[in-house]
Each structure stands twice: as C-alpha cells, then as structure tokens.
C-alpha cells in the first residue's frame, strides 16, 4: 500500500528519498513521485509505474538538488494509476505539497466546497483535496503550517498518514496520522518521516512512532510532536533491533526465496524462547493462566495468510482444549455483528500489525468487552500497541509481498497457544504437554529438512508451470494448509488455483477437473488417509495429475499419484508447519518459471492499510 518518505537535513535529499522509496517498494505500488525544495522553488516530479521510471524522469529533467523533500509510492484507490494521480499533490498555486496514505472519506464534500472557492483540481484523488484544503486554510494567515494541518485534519473523515511541505519554510516537513502508520527517524542534524522503518534504517536506527491524532513538525535539528489540542507531547525514542542486512536480499534472487529459507530461524525465534522444561511459558504476552482458564469462546481474526494460520490454529485449539473457537475473516467480522461476551478471548493475527480490517475488527472486539491478544511481527505496530496483550513473532522483517516466514511463525505461535491453553484447562496431561513441546521445539530443524525439497520443487515447477488451473485438496487441518498453499501459488504466479475440502469437490467443482489439471493433495492426518486417497482417486480417474504431500506412515495406494512427498515424523497436529514448505517452494519456482515479478506481484500490497 502507499509508502511515504521525507527527509530534511544538509545532504542532498534526492538519493535519500529514492533509496527510501525503493525500500518501500515491497508494500506494493503503481506510481511514484517526489517534491523537493530546489533553487527553482517547490519542484515536483511524478511517474506512473516503477521508481526506476521516476528516476529516469528526474534525470531527464535535469536532476534535483535539495536538502528537504517528500516522496511517495502510490497504490491507486481513487483514480487510475497515472502521472496525474500520483503523489505529491500540490495545493493552491503550488505553495503546498502533500503525500498521503489512506482514504479521505469526505473528499467529495470538501472538494465541492473548495471548488466554490476557486480551487481547480488536476487529479481524481482524495489526496489533492487535502493539499488544497491546507492551502486554503493557510493562505493569508500568519500561522505555523503545523497549526493549519491540525485544523485541516479536524475536517477530514477517514484514515491518513500525511507528509506536508510548504514554501513558507523550505526545511520543514509536517506529518500527521490517523489509522495509518508513520514513523519519524531521528538523525544527527537530519530527520526523516516514513511509512515504516525500512525507509529510514540506512540513515538512523533511532525513531519515534506518531500516534493517532498527532502532528509532528520535523526540521533538520528538531522534532516537535503535538496532540490534537496543539499541546506538545513528549515521545520516547526507540531503537531498531534488526540489521539492515535483514532487509536486503543477501545474494538471493528474490526476497521470497530468502524468506522461505529463513523459516527455521524465524520459527525458532517464535517458539524456542517460550518453551522451558517441557512447558509453554508465556511471560509478557498478557496471556495469564487465569485468563486462559476462563476464556469462554475464542475468536481468531485475520486476513489472507494470517487468517489461514488462524484456521489451522482454530482446529488445533478445539482439538486439544475443546474450547469453542471460531476463525473470522476480519472484514466480515466487522459487519457480521458477532456475538462477543466479556469472557471471550480474541486472537488477532497480523504480520504487519497495520492491516485496516484486522485493526478495526480488534477495536470492535475490544469495545464489546473481549480481551484482545495480538500475534504480530512488526514491533510497536498499531495492532501491537492497541491490543491488550501481544505475542511477538520475532521473525525479522518480511519484505516479499507474499508472506512465508511470518506465516510459519504465526503457526508456531498458535501451536504454543493451543498447547498452553490445553495444559491450563487440564485437557492434556503434563506428559502430553512435554511431548508436544519437544515436538514443537524440533519444528525449526524439521523445516530445515523440508527445505531440502527445493530441487524437487524446482523440477516440478518446470513440469507444471504451464497449467492454467490448480486445485489444492485436504481435510480439516490439511484443508486450512491447502488454503494457504493455493493463495501462495495464485498471488505470485497468477495461475488460477482453488483450495477445496477434499470431500466437497464432488459437490460441483469436480466438473472443472479435466485431463492434465494439476491437483495438489495433502494427507497428513492418519485418521483421514483413506478418505483423502479416495478423493485423490476421483480426480485422478478424471485425468488430473496429482502431487501428494503425505504424512509419515501413510501407506495407502499412491499409484494414481504422479509425485509423492512424505513428511518426516511429527505429531499430526503440527504437520501444517512442514507441509507448507514444499508448497511455498513450488509456488515460488512456478512464478519464476513464468517470469513473474515474484516479490511484488501485480495489484498486491504488503501492508493493506485501507478497508
């Protein structure tokens, strides 16, 4: 989703802004732009497409030399991706420039009022309204830009992270936020604003997070933050706790394969510190034994892969603890008017911690009186800060749009939770808890083993990359894992794929199976081996080619399958952590075979901060 970067200091802002924009590329975008104070005034260059296009355009126009500027990557919401709709947008006669992430809901209303005051709009965006509004409120008044921005945001409905500059002070950037992330990087004689830390880390590791309703005045040697009343707020600086190398490819061709290969470490970071003497130990997560003992109904909320991890978690939680558990699509939870009781526990899953629907669903659950515990990767993200308790994944920065290591770490976190809950509720014995903990502790090593299937998956990719449709089948836990495997394939390779509960296919969808259709079946739950193999036979006898991921000890007749991969020995409840690995690799290599933009698939954004 849109990315914002801003720099003010002594060095030339252009390479710093461009570097910042490149590091925000992973969020997903379709155009980019920069506004900076040059000797000619407020210079704006914008371009549809990749940042490289913007760079070429800047150089073709003679370059930019400036010590202060703002930049933006746009993921279109209002109006097609085009130079005209790209940010920054200018207000009035070009004295003010604005970059924005989010959606201004009342922009049409404001636009028509501003038009009555003679403002002429150049774009279809909601953001241009903010630029003209700031200009309208600022012109002729001798007040600080920040005070004008404070007034302007009081008139906006919706969500925003904003970076605003004005010709009045060519070394100042004003930033504001509501429901969209914005960090301020604190340097030595220079400061930055950005949508996330990846855009500032090459200049500074020190940052503060702007909270909802706050406005910041960012100058080369000072940062002042005000609340919505205009009062100064003291903010506690934080330090980035990971290295720049974690956000670089480190010799891999794509971030996606790098992050797939990083899974043993990521999962170990989530699991290992929380297992002690054969028990799951929660310390700062806010998940006390008392809370777990009294949880009446557990609601798991997430979007996309986070939801898929939640579906696996739901199945294990009910199986081990017999506590009622529901997995919710966050965007549906918001409008379903779900029944939430005060003793309910909401587990909110989000890698970024900024997903708009997940955040809104969490706030709703909280308001209804539920206790909210977030499983989050990005430290100090909005969801992490607003949840009652947080279980951090500590998986390190994830840059590829398609999640891999964060998904695996989310599974790890949910396994920990399921075992802990069952132990507190007395539905598993201490000996069983130890068995699960030992098995969980070994998962990172077993993922390492699964990564050895890389060559085989690469070979299968060459064989199947040309298929136009792929079906993923599984029952119970394997169905949830199939959902994730299918999403991985479709999002990075653009091959149509669907996940089906294996027993459901024959109720209509089997009509799509024809000669050469690829079916990937998962059968890792021993009590369901026979059932699933019957479903595999149904598709194979209609011409499908079948890849089977089978649990250890699977002894069914696999003669109808074209390729069979057996998982190593693992309690069946934990199999999803292993079965997904070869399927991530398969999706990756199929995407590579098809020459897709693996790390930045079309139309997708890493952090979905609009509804």
For residue 332, give every residue at least 6 positions away whose Cβ sits within 8 Å of its Cβ, in sequence order, or none: none
Active site residue 569: no
Structure tokens at 420: 């802990």
CB of 472 to ligand F6R, least distance (A): 15
Structure tokens at 431: 């000996």
Asked whether the beta carbons of 527 and 512 are under 8 A apart, the reply is no
Hunting for tokens 């774009």 — which residue is that? 123
| Nearer to ligand F6R (CB atom), residue 14 or residue 414 | 414
CB of 382 to ligand F6R, least distance (A): 11
| Nearer to ligand F6R (CB atom), residue 408 or residue 575 | 408
Of 28-36, 118-126, 302-310, 539-547, the window that binds ligand F6R (rule: CB under 6 A) is 302-310
Q: Which of 352, 382, 486, 558 binds ligand F6R (CB under 6 A)?
A: 352
CB of 137 to ligand F6R, least distance (A): 35
CB of 158 to ligand F6R, least distance (A): 20
Q: Where are the alpha helices (DSSP H) in 141-225?
A: 145-154
CB of 408 to ligand F6R, least distance (A): 12
Q: Which of residues 150-169 bind ligand F6R (CB under 6 A)?
A: none
Asked whether the beta carbons of 572 and 587 are under 8 A apart, the reply is no
DSSP 365-413: HHHTT-EEEEEESSTT-HHHHHSSEEEE-------SSS-SHHHHHHHHH
Taking CB atoms, the residue at the shortest distance from ligand F6R is: 304
Q: Which of residues 591-610 bind ligand F6R (CB under 6 A)?
A: 607-608
CB of 457 to ligand F6R, least distance (A): 17
Active site residue 2: yes
3-state secondary structure 278-337: CEECCCCCCCCHHHHHHCCCEEEEECHHHHHHHHHHHHHHHHHHCCCEEEEEHHHHCCCC
**How far is 468 from 513, CA to CA, in rounded Å?**
12
Q: Which of 38, 166, 268, 403 binds ligand F6R (CB under 6 A)?
A: 403
> Does 350 participate in binding ligand F6R (rule CB under 6 A)?
yes
Of 26-34, 159-167, 200-208, 299-307, the window that binds ligand F6R (rule: CB under 6 A) is 299-307
Of 292-300, 349-357, 367-375, 581-589, the window that binds ligand F6R (rule: CB under 6 A) is 349-357
CB of 448 to ligand F6R, least distance (A): 22
Q: Which of 67, 247, 303, 598 binds ligand F6R (CB under 6 A)?
A: 303
Structure tokens at 195: 């949508």
**How far is 488 from 598, CA to CA, in rounded Å?**
11
> Does 358 participate in binding ligand F6R (rule CB under 6 A)?
yes
**How far is 87 from 82, CA to CA, in rounded Å?**
10
**How far is 146 from 164, CA to CA, in rounded Å?**
9
| Nearer to ligand F6R (CB atom), residue 162 or residue 375 | 375
For residue 597, give every residue at least 6 positions away whose Cβ sits within 8 Å of its Cβ, in sequence order, or none: none
| Nearer to ligand F6R (CB atom), residue 90 or residue 312 | 312
Asked whether the beta carbons of 427 and 320 are under 8 A apart, the reply is yes
- 2, 303, 325, 561: the catalytic one is 2
| Nearer to ligand F6R (CB atom), residue 135 or residue 196 | 196
User: Beta strands 3-8 and 191-194: pairing type?
Assistant: antiparallel
Residue closest to 146 by CA, chosen among 233, 237, 209, 87:
233
222 beta partners:
219
- 46, 95, 405, 606: the catalytic one is 606
| Nearer to ligand F6R (CB atom), residue 350 or residue 423 | 350
| Nearer to ligand F6R (CB atom), residue 327 or residue 608 | 608
| Nearer to ligand F6R (CB atom), residue 27 or residue 111 | 27
Q: In what order do the strands lie in the sheet with 206-209?
A: 41-48, 31-38, 68-74, 3-8, 191-194, 183-186, 206-209, 238-239
DSSP state of 601: -
**How far is 440 from 151, CA to CA, in rounded Å?**
53
CB of 492 to ligand F6R, least distance (A): 8
Q: Which of 76, 90, 161, 402 binds ligand F6R (CB under 6 A)?
A: 402
389 beta partners:
373
Q: Which of residues 215-254 bind ligand F6R (CB under 6 A)?
A: none
Q: Which of residues 304-323 bind ligand F6R (CB under 6 A)?
A: 304-306
Please give the size of the binding site for ligand F6R, defined by CB under 6 A.
Answer: 15
453 beta partners:
none
| Nearer to ligand F6R (CB atom), residue 270 or residue 358 | 358
CB of 107 to ligand F6R, least distance (A): 25
Q: Which of 270, 355, 486, 493 binds ligand F6R (CB under 6 A)?
A: 355
Of 298-306, 312-320, 332-340, 494-502, the window that binds ligand F6R (rule: CB under 6 A) is 298-306
Asked whether the beta carbons of 359 and 382 are under 8 A apart, the reply is yes
DSSP state of 192: E
Q: Which of residues 460-489 bind ligand F6R (CB under 6 A)?
A: 487
> Does 491 participate in binding ligand F6R (rule CB under 6 A)?
yes
Largest CA distance in the chain: 82
> Does 381 participate in binding ligand F6R (rule CB under 6 A)?
no
Dihedrals phi, psi of 302, to nearest 5 degrees: -175, 175
**How far is 553 from 227, CA to CA, in rounded Å?**
61
Of 202-210, 231-239, 301-309, 445-453, the window that binds ligand F6R (rule: CB under 6 A) is 301-309
CB of 605 to ligand F6R, least distance (A): 8
| Nearer to ligand F6R (CB atom), residue 303 or residue 387 | 303
**How far is 134 from 154, CA to CA, in rounded Å?**
11
Residue closest to 25 by CA, chosen among 45, 65, 63, 54:
54
Question: Which residues sit at the interface with ligand F6R, rule CB under 6 A?
Answer: 303-306, 350-352, 355, 358, 402-403, 487, 491, 607-608
| Residues with a known catalytic role | 2, 606
């Amino acid at each position: 989703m849109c990315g914002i970067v801003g720099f003010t200091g002594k060095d030339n802002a252009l390479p710093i802004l461009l570097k910042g924009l490149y590091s925000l590329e992973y969020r997903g975008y379709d155009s980019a732009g920069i506004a900076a104070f040059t000797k000619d005034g407020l210079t704006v260059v914008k371009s549809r497409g990749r940042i490289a296009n913007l760079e070429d355009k800047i150089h073709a126009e003679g370059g930019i030399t400036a010590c202060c500027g703002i930049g933006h990557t746009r993921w279109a919401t209002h109006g097609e991706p085009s130079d005209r709709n790209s940010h920054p947008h200018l207000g009035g006669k070009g004295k003010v420039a604005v970059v924005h992430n989010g959606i201004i809901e009342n922009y049409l209303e404001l636009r028509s009022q501003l038009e009555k005051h003679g403002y002429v709009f150049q774009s279809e965006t909601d953001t241009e309204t903010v630029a003209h509004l700031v200009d309208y409120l600022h012109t002729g008044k001798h007040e600080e830009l920040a005070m004008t921005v404070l007034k302007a945001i009081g008139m906006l409905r919706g969500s925003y992270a904003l970076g605003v500059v004005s010709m009045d002070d060519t070394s100042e950037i004003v930033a504001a936020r509501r429901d969209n992330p914005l960090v301020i990087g604190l340097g030595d004689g220079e400061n930055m604003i950005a949508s996330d830390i990846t855009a500032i880390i090459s200049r500074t590791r020190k940052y503060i997070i702007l909270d909802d309703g706050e406005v910041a005045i960012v100058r080369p040697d000072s940062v002042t933050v005000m609340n919505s009343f205009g009062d100064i707020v003291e903010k506690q600086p934080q330090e980035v706790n990971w290295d720049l190398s974690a956000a670089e490819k480190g010799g891999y061709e794509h971030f996606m394969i790098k992050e797939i290969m990083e899974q043993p470490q990521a999962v170990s970071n989530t699991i290992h510190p929380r297992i002690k003497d054969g028990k799951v130990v929660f310390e700062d997560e806010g998940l006390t034994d008392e809370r777990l003992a009294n949880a009446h109904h557990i609601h798991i909320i997430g979007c996309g892969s986070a939801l898929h991890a939640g579906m696996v978690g739901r199945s294990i939680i009910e199986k081990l603890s017999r506590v009622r558990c529901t997995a919710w699509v966050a965007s549906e939870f918001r409008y379903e008017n779900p029944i939430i009781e005060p003793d309910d526990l909401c587990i909110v899953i989000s890698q970024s911690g900024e997903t708009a629907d997940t955040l809104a669903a969490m706030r709703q659950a909280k308001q209804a009186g539920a206790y909210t515990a977030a499983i989050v990767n990005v430290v100090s993200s909005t969801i992490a800060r607003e949840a009652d308790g947080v279980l951090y994944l500590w998986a390190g920065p994830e840059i590829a749009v398609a999640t891999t290591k964060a998904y695996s770490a989310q599974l790890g976190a949910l396994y920990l939770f399921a075992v802990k809950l069952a132990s507190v509720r007395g539905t598993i014995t201490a000996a069983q808890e130890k068995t699960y903990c030992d098995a969980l502790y070994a998962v990172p090593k077993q993922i390492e083993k699964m990564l050895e299937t890389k060559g085989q998956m690469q070979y299968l990719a060459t064989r199947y990359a040309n298929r136009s449709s792929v079906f993923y089948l599984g029952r119970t836990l394997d169905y949830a894992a199939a959902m994730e495997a299918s999403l991985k394939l479709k999002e990075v390779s653009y091959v149509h794929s669907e996940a089906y509960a294996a027993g459901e296919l024959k109720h209509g969808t089997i009509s799509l199976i024809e000669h050469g259709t690829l079916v990937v079946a998962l059968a890792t739950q021993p009590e369901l081996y026979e059932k699933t193999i019957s479903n595999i036979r149904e598709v194979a006898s209609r011409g499908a080619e079948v890849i089977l991921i089978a649990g250890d000890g699977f002894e069914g007749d696999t003669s109808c399958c074209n390729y069979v991969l057996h998982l190593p020995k693992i309690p069946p409840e934990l199999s999803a952590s292993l079965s997904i690995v070869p399927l991530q690799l398969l999706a990756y290599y199929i995407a590579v075979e098809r020459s897709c933009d693996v790390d930045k698939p079309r139309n997708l954004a890493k952090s979905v901060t609009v509804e």
